[in-house]
Amino acid sequence: MEENSNTTKIVMDDLAKRLGITLEELKPFLTHKTYRYGGDFSITKALKDAKSEGISLDAAAEKIKKQLESSPFISRIEITKGYVNCWYNYKNLFNLIINTLNESYGGTDYGKGERVMIEHTSVNPNKAIHIGHLRNAAIGDSLSKLLKSTGYEVIVTTYTDDTGAQVADNIVGIKFLGMPAEEKGIKLDHYFGDKVYIKVNESYKTDPSLLEKRSDILKAIENRDKEISKLVEGMVGKVLRAQLETMWRFGVFYDLINYESHILAYKFWDNAFNLLKEKGEIKLENEGEKKGCWIFQKADGEKKIIVRSDGTVVYAGKDIAYAMWKHGLMEGDFKYRRWITQSNGKTLWTTTLDDSETENHPKFNDVDRSINIIDITQSYEQEVVKEIIDKLSGGKAHYIHYEYAVVALSPETAKKLGVKEEDKDFFRMSGRKGIYINADDLIDRLKQVILQETKSRNKDLSEEECEKIAESLSISILRYEMVRTDPKKILVFDMDEALRLESKGAIYIEYTLSRMSGILRNAAEKIEDVGYKDDLTDQEKKLLLDIFLFPDIVESAARDLNLTAISNFASEFSSDFNEFYRDNSVIKSEGRERKFRLWLVNTSRTVLKNASEILGIIPLDRM
C-alpha cells in the first residue's frame, strides 16, 4: 500500500467498482455523517437510476444494496425512501487505518507531479507588517502547507515593489527632510512606517515642492540612477529583513523574493507586449475614445486598455508580464542569488541583476498553477490577467486569483489596542490615514494577556517555559482566526472571543492537543500490539470515523483550496475527542480495551497535530 494513502478513497473505490461506476461518478450521490435516516453514509443513486431505467425507487435501491452487500467495508445496509444507508465494518476500517498510519497521516499523493507557485504577503518595503497583511500571509502559508501535504511541488514567493511612490516617500524623508536612515531602539520597518512615512506625507501639505522632488526620485529609480538606486537598495533590503523577522515569528517562510525593479530591468513587459501583439491577443484601437490604445477584448466583449495612447502601461500590464514569467509563457528568466538564511534554516533567494550569482539555483518559474493571494478590490484586473494567461497557454496554465477581504477590529479590541473610535460595529484600518495596528504590537499584546493566565495555571513552570507557551498560543490564535472563515468576507477580529475556550477556536484545539499529550504522559507506556476492540462505544466509532475520513478531507480541501474545511474539521474533531474522553475511561481501563483506547488517543493526536500544522497552529504538550 502507498505511503500516503487516502483511506476514504480506498473504500470508495471498492464501492464504486461494485456499482460499476467510477469514483468521480459516485461522489455526487454520497453523503457522510448526515444521520438523516441512520447509517454512517447514504447513497442516493437510486433516485437517478429509477428514472433512467424506468423502474420503481425501491427496485433501484434494492439493486444497489445487493451490489454493495459483499463489500468488506460495510456491515449493514438499510433502505429508506430510496436512500441506501450504510454502516461501516469498523473492524476493517481499523485495520485499513493501521496499515496506512504514519506521522504524516492525512497527506496524500493527489497533486504529485504538479508544480504550484503561491505568491503572498507582498508588502511595500516602507512599513511594518500590519494585521491586514497577516490574513494574506496566513492564507498563503496555510495553502502552501495544504498543497505540500497532498504531493504538490510548491514554490512560495513574495513580491516587493521597490519602484513605487511609497519607497520614494522614504527617500524624500532621508534626502530632503534630513531624517536619519534608522533610529536606535525602534525596529526599522516600524520606524519607516510609523515615523518617516507619516512625517513625509504631512510635509507634502505644507511644502508642495516636495511632491516634485518625489517625482524626480521616481524617475531616477526608473532610470536606475546610481546614487538613488544604491540608496533604495540599501533601505529596501533593511526594511525587508525587519518585515521578515515578523513573518518568521508568525511561522511564515518563503523560497523567493521578486523585485519589481528587476521585472523592469529585464524588460519582461517589452517581451510580453511583443508576444501579445504577435499572437493577436491585443490590438491597436484606431477609432473612438480608445483610439491609439492597445486593447484586450475580454470574453464578455468588454475592451480593456492595456497600453494607453501615450505609451504608458496600465497596472494590469506588469501583472500580465509577471504571470507569463510564472507560467513560462515567454522567453527570459531572472538571475538569482542566495540572500539570507531564514530562522528555520531555509535559504531565501532573491532575483538579481548580478551575473555572478546565477548558478545552482532551484527552478522557480514554468509552473502548472499559480495562486496569487491578492485582496478582493483587485478582482477585475486579476480577471483580465487570468483570461490572457488562459488564452496564451491554451487553457493549460491555471492562474488563480485567491481573493480575500480586509481585516477589521471589534470596538472592544480596538480600544484595548489604543484606537479611539466611537459608535462603530467594527474598526476598519487605513494605511493612508496612518490608522493601523502593527502585527508585532498585536502579537505582543495577545502574548501578555496569555502569559498572565499561563503563569497562574502553571506554578511549576519556569518563566522561559511560560513565555514559550504564551508566544506559541498568540501566534496560533492569530493564524487560526485569519483562515477560519470565508476569505471573501470581512474578518472582524475580537481578542476576547479568540481567547474563549467556548468559542472552539485555536485555544480549544490547543487545549485538546495538550489534553491528549497529558493522557499519554500519564499512561507512560508504549503503544504496541494494538488489536481491534469489539463493542465500540458511539464516541469511539465517531473518532474512528473522523480518523478514517481525514485524508479525504485534506485532499478535498486541497482540490478546492478550502482552508475553512480544515479549520472546521480541527474544531469538530476536538469536540468529538473531548466527548470521547468525558464518557470513556482511558487510564483506568484494562487489557485490550486500554491498549485500543491509548492507540485511539495517540492516533487522534497525530490527526489533530497534522490538521493544526496546516492551519499554522503550533502544537503544545501542555498549556
- Reported as a single tens digit per residue, the pLDDT across 274-285 is 999 999 999 999
Where exactly are the structural domains of the chain?
7-88, 115-408, 409-499, 501-615
pLDDT given for residue 622 in this prediction: 85
Average pLDDT score over residue span 447-462: 91
Burial class (CB in 10 A: 0-12, 13-18, 19+), 488: exposed
pLDDT given for residue 426 in this prediction: 61
> Is residue 187 predicted with pLDDT exceeding 50?
yes
pLDDT given for residue 1 in this prediction: 44
d(CA 542, CA 565): 18
d(CA 294, CA 276): 10
Check if CATH label 1.10.730.10 holds for domain 501-615.
yes
Q: Select the more confidently predicted residue: 3 or 98.
A: 98
Average pLDDT score over residue span 517-527: 91
As a CATH number, domain 115-408 is 3.40.50.620
d(CA 319, CA 604): 44
How do residues 564-573 score in pLDDT, each as one tens digit?
A: 999 999 999 9
How do residues 124-156 score in pLDDT, each as one tens digit?
A: 999 999 988 999 999 999 999 999 999 999 999
Using only C-alpha atoms, the chain has a radius of gyration, in whole angstroms, of: 28
pTM of the model: 0.93
In three-state secondary structure terms, 78 is strand
Instruction: Choose the weakest-confidence range: 163-172, 349-358, 460-469, 547-556.
Output: 349-358
Supply 489's cell numbers.
Answer: 468576507
Nearest to 118 by CA among 259, 316, 256: 256
Residue 583: pLDDT band (50, 70, 90) is very high
Question: Is 86 within 8 Å of 104 (Cβ atoms)?
Answer: no
d(CA 405, CA 398): 22
Residue 623: pLDDT band (50, 70, 90) is confident
Nearest to 446 by CA among 410, 475, 407: 475
- What rounded mean pLDDT belongs to the chain? 91
Nearest to 547 by CA among 590, 516, 591: 516
Supply 104's cell numbers.
Answer: 504524516
Supply 272's cell numbers.
Answer: 510580453
pLDDT given for residue 318 in this prediction: 87
Query: What amino acid is encoded at 90 in this protein?
Result: Y
Could you give the percent of the chain with pLDDT greater than 90? 78
> Is residue 4 predicted with pLDDT exceeding 80?
no
Residue 226: pLDDT band (50, 70, 90) is confident
pLDDT given for residue 561 in this prediction: 98
d(CA 356, CA 255): 20
| Options 3.40.50.970, 3.30.1360.70, 3.90.600.10, 3.90.1150.220; CATH of 7-88 | 3.30.1360.70
Average pLDDT score over residue span 547-558: 96
CB atoms within 10 A of CB 428: 16
